[in-house]
Every structure is written in structure tokens, then in C-alpha cells.
Amino acid sequence: QISIPNFEAALKSKAITVVDVRGPAEYAEGHFPGAINISLDELPAKIDDIPSDKFVVVHCRTGVRGEMAYLLLKEKGFDVKDPKAGCQCKLDGTYLIWEM
């Protein structure tokens, strides 16, 4: 798990890879700056697309898909964190994030 303040600091410093596991249409409506979109359904086939030089934070809107992605990536040996938070991302790169 990663706290919201630590997540935001890592996001600003670009010390993480954010994997947005929502569908492409949801991602297109807004996402964290620099996030890559690999939907939960595609994740098993696209694991090699995730950079391994930084730790990974997975997220979705409510945390359900994010937790499933977290478990899969952890099983595959990734240094992965889950913020256990809900979020709403906007097209301009701004976002709201709250504890679940």
C-alpha cells in the first residue's frame, strides 16, 4: 500500500509507473499525468509493456480492478503498490483522490 501523500509526491517526481487498469474509454475521459493504460482484461497479455525500472502503482476509479491488478502484478514479481483510494481524473491532468 502507498499513502496518498506519498503517491502524489512520487507522481510529481516521476519515480513511479502508474498503470491505469480502467478501459480505454474511461482512460480517455482523464487520467493521472504519465499513466499508461492497460485494462485489467488486457493486463495478463501486456505485462511486458510495464517498465520494470520504477515501482508500479495500479489504479482504477474505485479500487476494485486496481486490487485485482495489484495481486496479479505482485504474483509476477513486480514492486507494486495500491493506493487503496478512489479517484477522479480530468482531461487537463488534474485529479481528486480520496481514501477508501
Catalytic residue ranges: 60
Closest-CA residue to 3 (of 73, 84, 93) = 84
Cell numbers that stand for 4 in this block: 496518498
26 in Cβ contact with 41 (< 8 Å): no
14 in Cβ contact with 34 (< 8 Å): yes
* Euclidean distance between CA atoms 100 and 87, whole angstroms: 10
How many C-beta neighbours within 10 Å does residue 77 have? 9
